[in-house]
Chain A
Amino acid sequence: MSVDKETVIKIAKLSRIAISDSEASAMVGELNGILGWVEQLGEVDVTGVEPMTAVIGIDGRMRDDIVNADPLTGGGVPEKILANAPAKEGNFFGVPKVIE
C-alpha cells in the first residue's frame, strides 16, 4: 500500500495538522519510504497469534469508590486546572465561537 498526495492531505486533516501543498508533496516520499519498510511485517505468519494488549500481565485494578481519594488527582482545583490556559473566562477555558 502506498500513499499519494491526496491521502497525505487526508491524513493531515485527520491528525488536525495544517499542511501546505508543498509540504504534502514532500511527505509523500517520506511516508511511502517508512510504510514500504514496515510492510515487511506482512511476511510474518501470525496464524492463531493474539495481538498484544498488555506487555506485563497485570489484572486491571479497581480503586476504592471514594471522592478525591488521591488529592493529586482529585477535583476542586479550578485555578490549577486553568493555570496554563491560553485563554480563560472565570472558571472556563476560552475558545473561538463554536456555535453561530
Chain B
Amino acid sequence: MMSDITDLGVAAIREGVVSGDFSAAEVAEAFNANVAKAKVLNAFIVETPEKAIAAAKVVDADRAAGKILGKMAGVPIGMKDLFCTEGVQTTAASHILEGFVPTYESTVSANLWKAGAGMLGKLNLDQFAMGSSNETSYFGNVISPWRKGDGDNAPLAPGGSSGGSAAAVSARLCPAATGTDTGGSIRQPAAFAGITGIKPTYGRCSRWGIVAFASSLDQAGPMARDVRDCAIMLEAMAGFDAKDSTSLDLPVPEWEAHLNSDLRGKKVGIPREYRMDGTDADILGSWDKGIAWLKDAGAEIVDISLPHTKYALPAYYIIAPAEASSNLARYDGVRYGLRDLPDGSGLQDMYAATRAAGFGPEVRRRIMIGTYVLSAGFYDAYFTQAAKVRTLIKRDFAEAFAQCDVILAPTTPTAAFALGDKSDDPLAMYLNDVFAVPASLAGLPAMSVPAGLNKDGLPLGLQVIGNELDEQGVLNAGLAIEKRAGFVARPGEWW
C-alpha cells in the first residue's frame, strides 16, 4: 500500500484522504521516505519532513472534525526554493542568500498551505532562476531521474530553471511542485522530465514573496504529472493580491470543473515560423502527432504566422538581464545574506566583494549584460529597441488569436541533453528556450504536456499556448493531447 501512494497524483491523493482510504499523515510519510532515498538526485536544497507531517495532521484532524477540506487537502508538495517560506531557508540556489530565513511567507505558498497542502522541502533550481539545465545552482546540479535507453548512464540535465521541481515530480518524490517561469522555466524542465506544467497568464499568481528575476516576465505555476492535477493546483495558487502591483484583480476560474477534451468547434494554430531549420526530427515527429491528436479531438487545424518569432530570444536576453540587474541590486551585504568585508575596506568595496563572492558566473554575466544595455548611450539602442520588439511579438500573438483559439508547438528544440554539454556555451544554452520565450514575452498562458519518447527513450513535450486569461483553453487542449498520447513512461528507479 505505502509504495502505491507515491504513484498517486494530486486529485487521487485528495480523493483518498477525503474518502478515508488513507490518512494524510500516511501520504506525507510515504513521500518523505521517497525524498530521503533520493538524495543522489540532489532535487532538494532543504528537506522539511516535519512540515509535511504537521500539515497532514491538521488535515486529518479537520476531516475527523467533519470540516470541509481544501482543494489540496493532504497533498504534500515540493516548493521551488525561489518562494519565501517563513522560518525555512530560502536561497534562490545562491551563495548570497545562503542562510537567509524569511520572516514572512510568499502569497502563493501561503495559498497552497491554506488549501491543505504540506511542504516536503525546498527544491533546487538554477541560481536566481537563471539557467536551462539546473547547472548554475550554488548547491550543485540536479540529476535527472531519466537515463537514455541504450545503457548510457551519463547524467542528464533535468532542465531549468525549475529543475529540482521537474526531477522530484518525475521521480515520485512529490505528486506536484511549484515552479516559476520567466522564459520557459516551467515548460522546458517539464518537457525534459516527462511531466506536465503550466505557466498561467502574467498576473494570475502573485509575485509577492518570490525572489525576483525579471519582474515583467516572472510568473509562478504548478508542475505535476497530469493536466487535471495542474488545474487543481493552479486554482489553489492563483488569485488577486494587493501586495503585487501587477496582480490581476479577477476571480479564479474553476478550471478543474470545466476541463473538457472535446475540441469540436475549436481552431488550433500551427505557427509556421516554429518549423526551424535543423530542428530535431523526433521533435518534428511529435509535433505532427500532436496535430493529428487535436484533429482527432475535433479541432480544426489552421496555419498561422508569428513573424517576429526569431527576434523573441534576443529581445528576451536584453529585457530579462536588464530587469535582473535592477532587481538584484538589493543584494549588497547590508540587510540580509552574505557579507564579504575585506580588511580595512569601505562600503563600496564591501558591495563589490560581496556580490563577486555571492553570485555565480551566469548571474554575474546577466547582471553585467543588463547593466550595459541600460547604461547611458546604449539604453535606446538595446533596451528601448527590445521593448519595441516585444510590442511586435505581443501583436503577432493578438493577430494569430483572431484566427485560432490555441497554438500548438514543440516545447523544446531537443530532448534532455547531458549535464556539461552546454554549460560552457551560454548562447547554446539560451537557444533551448527558443520555443518557450515568445509566450513569456507576451504574458500568455502556456503549458507543456508529455507527447512521447524519442529514439533514445527520453521524454518530449508539446506546448499549448493560449490567449490572455484562457488557461481553460490551454488545459483543455492539453487534456486532449494527454488522452491520446497515453504517456505512461517513467524513469527506472536507479537512485
| CB <8 Å contact, A34 and B427 | yes
Query: Using a Cβ–Cβ cut-off of 8 Å, how many residues does chain B contribute to the interface with A?
Result: 73
A38 and B426 CA atoms in complex are apart in Å by 13
Closest to A38 in B: B314
For residue B417, which residues in chain A have a CB less than 8 angstroms away from its CB?
none
For residue B341, which residues in chain A have a CB less than 8 angstroms away from its CB?
96
A13 and B384 CA atoms in complex are apart in Å by 23
Min distance, Cβ B281 to any Cβ of chain A, angstroms: 26
A34 and B421 CA atoms in complex are apart in Å by 19
For residue A55, which residues in chain B have a CB less than 8 angstroms away from its CB?
202, 216-217, 390, 394, 441-443
For residue B378, which residues in chain A have a CB less than 8 angstroms away from its CB?
1
Majority secondary structure, A binding face: loop
Contact indicator per residue, chain B 339-356, by CB within 8 Å of chain A (1) or not (0): 101000111111111011
A55 and B249 CA atoms in complex are apart in Å by 15
For residue B25, which residues in chain A have a CB less than 8 angstroms away from its CB?
none
Interface stretch, picked from B52-60, B74-82, B154-162, B366-374, is B366-374
| CB <8 Å contact, B352 and A17 | yes
Contact (A96, B346) CB under 8 Å given A41-B385, A87-B339: yes
| CB <8 Å contact, B103 and A83 | yes
Chosen A-B contacts, 7 in total, with CB atoms closer than 8 Å, are A11-B371, A30-B365, A40-B310, A55-B216, A58-B246, A58-B248, A96-B346
Contact indicator per residue, chain B 302-323, by CB within 8 Å of chain A (1) or not (0): 0000001011001101100000
Give chain A interface residues in 41-76, CB to chain B under 8 Å. 41-44, 46, 49-56, 58, 60-61, 63, 70, 72-73
Q: Does B279 contact A (CB under 8 A)?
A: no
Report the 5 A-B pairs with minimum CB-CB distance, sorted nearest first. Answer: A51-B387, A55-B443, A84-B336, A86-B339, A18-B356
Q: Does B201 contact A (CB under 8 A)?
A: yes
| CB <8 Å contact, A61 and B339 | no
A97 and B359 CA atoms in complex are apart in Å by 25
Chain A interface (Cβ < 8 Å from any Cβ of B): 1, 3, 7-8, 11-19, 27, 30-31, 33-35, 37-44, 46, 49-56, 58, 60-61, 63, 70, 72-73, 77, 80-81, 83-87, 93, 95-98
Closest to B377 in A: A1
Min distance, Cβ B67 to any Cβ of chain A, angstroms: 25
| CB <8 Å contact, B351 and A56 | no
Q: Does B252 contact A (CB under 8 A)?
A: no
| CB <8 Å contact, B242 and A63 | yes
| CB <8 Å contact, B365 and A38 | no
Min distance, Cβ A97 to any Cβ of chain B, angstroms: 7
For residue B310, which residues in chain A have a CB less than 8 angstroms away from its CB?
40
| CB <8 Å contact, B391 and A98 | no
| CB <8 Å contact, A15 and B355 | yes
Min distance, Cβ A77 to any Cβ of chain B, angstroms: 8
For residue B369, which residues in chain A have a CB less than 8 angstroms away from its CB?
31, 34-35
For residue B355, which residues in chain A have a CB less than 8 angstroms away from its CB?
15-18
Q: Does B471 contact A (CB under 8 A)?
A: no
| CB <8 Å contact, A49 and B348 | no
For residue A70, which residues in chain B have a CB less than 8 angstroms away from its CB?
242-243
For residue A41, which residues in chain B have a CB less than 8 angstroms away from its CB?
311, 314-315, 318, 382, 385-386, 389
Closest to A8 in B: B368
| CB <8 Å contact, A51 and B388 | yes
With A15-B355, A44-B385 known, 10 other A-B pairs at CB within 8 A are A11-B375, A15-B364, A16-B351, A17-B355, A17-B364, A31-B368, A35-B372, A38-B314, A41-B386, A84-B99
| CB <8 Å contact, A44 and B392 | yes
A70 and B216 CA atoms in complex are apart in Å by 24
Closest to B375 in A: A14
A11 and B248 CA atoms in complex are apart in Å by 36
For residue B488, which residues in chain A have a CB less than 8 angstroms away from its CB?
none
| CB <8 Å contact, B382 and A38 | yes
For residue B385, which residues in chain A have a CB less than 8 angstroms away from its CB?
41-42, 44, 46
| CB <8 Å contact, A37 and B359 | no
For residue A53, which residues in chain B have a CB less than 8 angstroms away from its CB?
387
| CB <8 Å contact, A72 and B245 | no
Q: Does B194 contact A (CB under 8 A)?
A: no
A87 and B367 CA atoms in complex are apart in Å by 26
| CB <8 Å contact, B336 and A44 | no
Q: Does B334 contact A (CB under 8 A)?
A: yes
For residue A49, which residues in chain B have a CB less than 8 angstroms away from its CB?
388, 391-392
Pick the contact of B202: A27, A38, A56 (CB < 8 A). Answer: A56
A95 and B250 CA atoms in complex are apart in Å by 44
A85 and B419 CA atoms in complex are apart in Å by 36
Q: Does B18 contact A (CB under 8 A)?
A: no
A95 and B346 CA atoms in complex are apart in Å by 9
A3 and B373 CA atoms in complex are apart in Å by 12
| CB <8 Å contact, A44 and B216 | no
A1 and B381 CA atoms in complex are apart in Å by 10
Pick the contact of B389: A37, A46, A54, A60 (CB < 8 A). Answer: A46
